[in-house]
Chains A and B, each alone.
Chain A
């Protein structure tokens, strides 16, 4: 938790070559380069396809091999400092180019240019890719998004804060012990809200936070709020963005339970499957045409954070049917020791 003063600065670092989103990006961009090269080299449409096929025959084996090797060495590369890491990536790429060159010579014969030309092209492409990932990292870096993230995270409803304080005040005289427990929950909740929340945290901790939050809501709403947890199959050690569930529960209570006179159930189902972590939240929902802007904002915030941490490997979907509103989050299962 303790971090130096420049914790806001962008630390840099090579991309995670095991992330599906990164792999996709490399593939798409390199192929776009190959296509551009084919366009440059060809005079008309007929010869364009000829060129595309020729260039792809050169590019694809190297591309696929590179992705495999980089994915394999990803941990090691990411642990190394940035610049030595960059040098290592260049070295790997050039070595692979040199290794594939004899095969290309053998298969394509006279069509093949000297090795130095390929090495130059590979070096330029590698440079472009690394520069792209560096820029992208900066664009998405916590330093730039932090203000927004913190602001969004701090957006626990003041409505909830003041109502909870009011509820605790009502308990102090008649039920001092419950008042104590409620204040402890509140302290836990606010400690988490005010913490540096940019790093992933164990799911078990998020669940504890949610329980504290819900017990405060229970205090106010009593019988009206029924909570159903299903956590038997939950991977507690999975790393998730902090406050990924709590804001959704807050929405569930605010939009699902508070507008109802009769009791309603908020259910939270957490489970792991196929190296993924699933969270399914449900609450009753009445179409009132009321204010749902707050809900959309929380969803957009969580979506953004999921993308920031997991790229295309995470998803958040919502659905409304038969008076039930459901949010389903899927995240990759990253264990504490891998992180």
Chain B
């Protein structure tokens, strides 16, 4: 029973102050029946990640429509936490999102939020964080960031800074001008999500179109093949024989 006796740790993420204060009031009323503490409030995705790294929560009440990073993208980054919290989305009105929530069995609350519904959602959310596939289904637009987890911290990598993505054994390595990160995702999925932003130059490598400076012939074992020259880094990426057509595409 031990786990269930501890008060539920809840975080509130919403960009609108009145919505946060209303949620706090409601949580205060839940506290009588359902022991809980509010670990904090955040006004956007970035602040939320910082808060949750500092103050782990069992449940995050998450507004869907927020500036810079929407609730759904944030929920996906939260999956990288050591112990991903349960997520309950809140939304005022969004036909599309509501259908998607229903379809993927993801919990949500409609604003204005009713006390009874909130209690039910809290009780459910403690038991299960959302499935990553479900969250992927919910996304309507590509993420603005990738997220990597290192020593319990989550690093956000703005997608615009990514120079290339390379599949390693179990991970995908994400190269920016500054450094390299490892993320647990599949290259094929990333290719699907970000579409035209990247171009596949090799079975194991996607290169950001914007970062391509040019191509150069390289001699390797007597075989001539192409390499991509990239902005921001010295390293070159080989173009596989099968992807040679990319070189022609760019030279046009």
Contacts and interface: CB of A to CB of B under 8 A. Distances in A.
Interface of A: 157-159, 161-163, 165-167, 169-171, 173-174, 219-222, 258-261, 290
B44 A167 contact: no
Contact of B22 (A157, A159, A169): A169
A220 B18 contact: yes
B26 to A, nearest CB: 9
Nearest to B67: A261
Interface stretch (B75-83, B105-113, B226-234, B242-250): B105-113
A220 B65 CA distance: 13
Given A258-B67, A261-B44, A261-B67, A167 B94 contact: no
Q: Which of B25, B67, B92, B93 has the most CB of A within 10 A?
A: B92
Contacts of B65: 159, 258
B68 A261 contact: yes
B17 interface: yes
Contact of B16 (A157, A161, A220, A290): A220
B67 A165 contact: no
Nearest to B23: A170
Interface residues of B, number: 21
Given A162-B111, A258-B65, A258-B67, A170 B93 contact: no
A163 B67 contact: no
A170 B92 contact: no
Interface of B: 15-19, 21-22, 25, 43-44, 65, 67-68, 92-94, 110-113, 141
B65 to A, nearest CB: 7
At the interface, is chain A mostly helix, strand, loop or mixed? helix
A162 B111 CA distance: 6
A166 B111 contact: yes
A257 B21 CA distance: 21
B18 A171 contact: yes
A222 B17 contact: yes
A214 to B, nearest CB: 15
9 contacts: A162-B92, A162-B110, A163-B92, A166-B18, A166-B111, A167-B16, A170-B19, A220-B18, A220-B19
B67 A260 contact: yes
B67 A170 contact: no
Contact of A163 (B17, B43, B111): B111
Contacts of B68: 261
